[in-house]
Amino acid sequence: MSNLLERFCRYVKVETTADENSTTYPSTPGQRELGALLAAELKEMGLEAHQDEHAVVIATLPGNVEGAPTIAWLAHVDTSPEAPGKGVNPQVVEYKGGDLTLKSGLVIPGEDLDGYAGKTLVTTDGTTLLGADDKSGVAVIMTAVERLLADPDRPRCPVRVIFTCDEEIGRGTDKLDIEAIDAVCAYTLDGESEGLIENETFSADVAVVKVKGRNIHPGLAYGKMVNAIRGAAKFLEQLPPQLSPECTKDKEAFLHPYVLEGGVAEVGLRILLRSFHTPELKELADVLHAAAETTMKEIVGVTVEVNIQEQYRNMAEYLAKEPRAVALAEKAYQKVGMEPVFKSIRGGTDGSRLSELGLPTPNLSTGMHNFHCEAEFACLDEMETAVSVLLELVTLWSAER
- Name the site residues for Zn ion (rule: CB under 5 A): 133-134, 190
Q: In the complex, what is the shortest distance from the CB of residue 363 to Zn ion, in angstroms, rounded to a whole number?
A: 9
Nearer to Zn ion, 311 or 349 (CB): 349
Nearest approach, Cβ of residue 398 and Zn ion (Å): 28
The residue from 167, 168, 194, 376 that is catalytic is 167
For residue 291, the minimal CB distance to Zn ion (Å) is: 34
| Residue 174 annotated in active site | no
3-state SS, the chain, equals: CCHHHHHHHHHHCCCCECCCCCCCCCCCHHHHHHHHHHHHHHHHCCCEEEECCCCCEEEEECCCCCCCCCEEEEEECCECCCCCCCCCCCEEEECCCCCEECCCCCEECHHHHCCCCCCEEEECCCCCCCCHHHHHHHHHHHHHHHHHHCCCCCCCCCEEEEEECCHHHCCCCCCCCHHHHCCCEEEEEEEECCCEEEEEECEEEEEEEEEECECCCHHHCCCCCECHHHHHHHHHHCCCHHHCHHHCCCCCCEEEEEEEEECCCEEEEEEEEEECCHHHHHHHHHHHHHHHHHHHHHCCCCEEEEEEEEEECCHHHHHCCCCHHHHHHHHHHHHCCCCCEEEEECCCCHHHHHHHCCCCCCEEEEEEECCCCCCCEEEHHHHHHHHHHHHHHHHHHHCCC
Choosing from 15, 41, 78, 190, the catalytic residue is: 78
Q: Which is nearer to Zn ion, 8 or 397 (CB)?
A: 8
Closer CB to Zn ion, residue 15 or residue 134?
134
Q: Least distance from C-beta 399 to Zn ion, angstroms?
A: 31
Q: Which is nearer to Zn ion, 41 or 133 (CB)?
A: 133
167 given a catalytic annotation: yes
**Least separation, in Å, of the C-beta of 362 and Zn ion?**
14
Which residue, 190 or 374, is less far from Zn ion as judged by CB? Answer: 190
Which active-site residues does the annotation give?
78, 167
